[in-house]
Amino acid sequence: MSRGRRQAGARCFLASAKHRRQRLRRTICAARFGRGVAARHPRDRSDDYGPRLCHGRGKAVVRGGRSVRRRHSEHASGMTADVVVIGAGIVGAACAAELAAQGMTVEVLDAVGIGGGATAAGMGHIVVMNDSPAELALSRYSRELWLELAPSLRAADAFSRCGTVWVAADGEEWEAACELQRAFAGSGVKTELLDAAALHECEPSLAVPMAGGLIVPDDSIVYAPRAAQWLLEHSPGARNIRVRLGCEVTALATGEARLASGETVSGGLIIVANGLFAQRLVPGLPIVPKKGHLLITDRYPGYLHHQVLELGYIKSAHQTEGASVAFNAQPRPTGQVLLGSSRQFDTLDPAAEWPVLARMLERAARYLPSLPSLNAIRAWTGFRAATPDGLPIVGPAGDALPGVWIAAGHEGLGVTTSLATAKLLAAQIAGTRARIDAAPYRVDRFAQEASHGV
């Protein structure tokens, strides 16, 4: 099925779901017995989190205005822009904004809409993670960039520096919390250990007893589809950006992107930032889908104060087969609670799977005992673009595709790492040094691993 049709399928599923609130206790029961539970908010208010597209202001050319058109038509060679970015998710938007801020003209092509892929489906938790030194370096750098950007964002972008609380359920997880604190301290990431009483004071809705927790106060949340729109339409270089929606790219050649309509768009550089579907344009990229479920409740202001995760989440996030669930809950600025998350391989079916949702909610209810009495209003799924080592691919596509660059494969951290990805890509394009080493994210690492028999 084409990308467009798959997205349409997902939207259809959500739209046809029954319009009613449902207590999570009933949701868990219904899910166990395979009955539908996902309900879309009856009023469909724009502040109800979940997959939704930002279509920009116009249809084809979203960035209108004389100066933009003049700048883009200056390319007498037939080139439409200095850079063509494929994909208007958070990663493509960040890359476009960064290059445009450096004075390049950028044409962004998206098959659907701004923030319409994984960006719309995800949780938008901006979190420093420590699975590998490269993950820590990229997520820490990118979180710094988000904190710098935050004052410029709008209320609708829903940025909040709410912090992360990692919950240790028992003594073993308490050890893991202490270890995480040591690793973060060594990298200058601010944290504080919480004993059981401090944890309870911090998050009174959590079950007692818990062994304790670790708070990371500078972690944040953002509504990523809106932030993508801000980057494309309001960031400092936005006048250099033109966005075209409904443009599916079907093939690449040097300096050219071919559209499904038959049109060819040419640019000095091509950036492939279309997430899971990057391998359709750059064959051989090692990217596979990891399906995830999320669910959002009605408004319960003050129910949670931080993004709260179980320490077992890290193990679950890096599982490479089967289905796993872990407790992950986010307080939305609206007072709603956004619940995640699951991970499944080998499927591109966008339907919510009730047994998986039931497992996810049962797990969450162990940590939040009053959760089953809350009303659920929507559930949905999305697909993370996963690479074998869990790191994104950022850099040149290789000798076979000169002038083509990749920014894809961000798995479950692409909102967090989008801004640093853009900096890394821009530095490589300019031939300058980025603030962190770009080597661990380049696609040639997989060739090196293969030649070393890894």
Ligand X SMILES: Cc1cc2nc3c(=O)[nH]c(=O)nc-3n(C[C@H](O)[C@H](O)[C@H](O)COP(=O)(O)OP(=O)(O)OC[C@H]3O[C@@H](n4cnc5c(N)ncnc54)[C@H](O)[C@@H]3O)c2cc1C
Distance CA 37, CA 372 (A): 14
92 binds ligand X (CB under 6 A): yes
Q: Which two tokens stand for residue 416?
A: 């967090």
Quick one: 211 or 273, whose CB is closer to ligand X? 273
Find the shortest distance in angstroms from Cβ 225 to ligand X.
Answer: 8
Q: Give least dist CB 201 to ligand X, A.
A: 25
Q: Does residue 412 touch ligand X according to CB under 6 A?
A: yes
Asked if 165 touches ligand X (CB under 6 A), the answer is no
275 near ligand X, rule: CB under 6 A? yes
Q: Is 410 in the site for ligand X (CB under 6 A)?
A: yes
According to the binding rule CB under 6 A, does residue 124 interact with ligand X? yes
- Closest CB 50 distance from ligand X, rounded Å: 11
Neighbours of 208 (CB within 10 A): 10
Axis crossing angle, helix 414-430 with helix 90-101, rounded to the nearest 10: 40
List CB contacts of 368: < 8 A, sequence separation 6 or more: 205, 206, 207, 327, 329
Which lies closer to ligand X via its Cβ, residue 85 or residue 436?
A: 85
Question: Residue 297 CB, nearest distance to ligand X (Å)?
Answer: 16
Q: Which CB atom, from 173 or from 411, has the smaller least distance to ligand X?
A: 411
Pairing mode of beta strands 264-272, 256-259 = antiparallel
In whole angstroms, how close is the CB of 17 to ligand X at the nearest point?
Answer: 17
Report if residue 303 touches ligand X, rule: CB under 6 A. Answer: no
Residue 118 touches ligand X, criterion: CB under 6 A:
yes
Cis peptide before 139 (omega within 30 of 0): no
Judge if the upstream peptide bond of residue 209 is cis by omega within 30 degrees of 0: yes
Residue 294 binds ligand X, judged by CB under 6 A: yes
The window from 11-19, 149-157, 317-325, 410-418 that contacts ligand X (CB under 6 A) reads 410-418
Answer for which of 101, 191, 414, 423 binds ligand X (CB under 6 A) is 414
Tokens of 153: 């964002």
Q: Quick check: 417 and 119 in contact, CB under 8 A?
A: no
User: Does residue 86 bind ligand X (CB under 6 A)?
Assistant: yes
Residues 6+ apart with CB under 8 A from 128: 136, 139, 140, 143, 184, 189, 216, 219, 416
Residue 429 CB partners (closer than 8 Å, separation 6+)? 99, 269, 405
Between 212 and 414, CB nearer to ligand X: 414
- Dist CA 334 CA 235 (whole Å): 25
Q: How many other CB atoms sit within 10 Å of the CB of residue 314? A: 16
Residue in 51, 56, 87, 396 binding ligand X, rule: CB under 6 A: 87
Say if CB 238 and CB 97 are below 8 A apart. yes
Q: Which of 50, 56, 89, 237 binds ligand X (CB under 6 A)?
A: 89
Q: Which of the residues 419 through 448 are near ligand X (CB under 6 A)?
A: none
φ/ψ of 132, rounded to 5, equals -150, 160
Which range in 117-125, 159-167, 193-201, 262-270 contacts ligand X by CB under 6 A? Answer: 117-125
Q: Residue 82 or 110: which CB sits closer to ligand X? A: 110
Helices (H) and strands (E) counted in the chain, each on its own, are 14, 19
Q: With both helix axes pointing from N to C terminus, report the angle between 414-430 and 133-149 in degrees, rounded to the nearest 10.
A: 90
CB-CB contact of 142 with 224 (8 Å): no
- Strands 106-110, 164-168: pairing kind: unpaired
92/237 with CB nearer ligand X: 92
Binding segment for ligand X (CB under 6 A), chosen from 154-162, 268-276, 313-321, 361-369, is 268-276
Can residue 408 be called a binding residue for ligand X (CB under 6 A)? yes
Binds ligand X by CB under 6 A, chosen from 141, 383, 405, 441: 383
State which of residues 229, 266, 279, 341 lies at the interface with ligand X (CB under 6 A): 341
Q: Site for ligand X (CB under 6 A): which residue of 306, 384, 423, 442?
A: 384
For ligand X, the closer of residues 123 and 436 by Cβ is 123
For the window 210-249, what string marks contact with ligand X as x by the rule CB under 6 A? Answer: --------------------------------------xx
Which secondary-structure segment (H or E) carries 299? strand 288-299
For 22, other C-beta atoms within 10 Å of its C-beta total: 19
Q: Which is nearer to ligand X, 96 or 211 (CB)?
A: 96
Residue where the block lists tokens 């003594």: 171
What separation in angstroms does the CA of 113 have from each of 16, 51, 60, 93? 21, 11, 10, 12
Query: Which position among 119, 316, 336, 387 is part of the footprint of ligand X (CB under 6 A)?
Result: 119
Binding to ligand X by residue 38, rule CB under 6 A?
no
For ligand X, the closer CB: 223 or 303: 223
List residues binding ligand X (CB under 6 A). Answer: 3, 86-92, 109-112, 116-119, 121-125, 248-249, 273-277, 292, 294, 340-341, 382-384, 408, 410-416
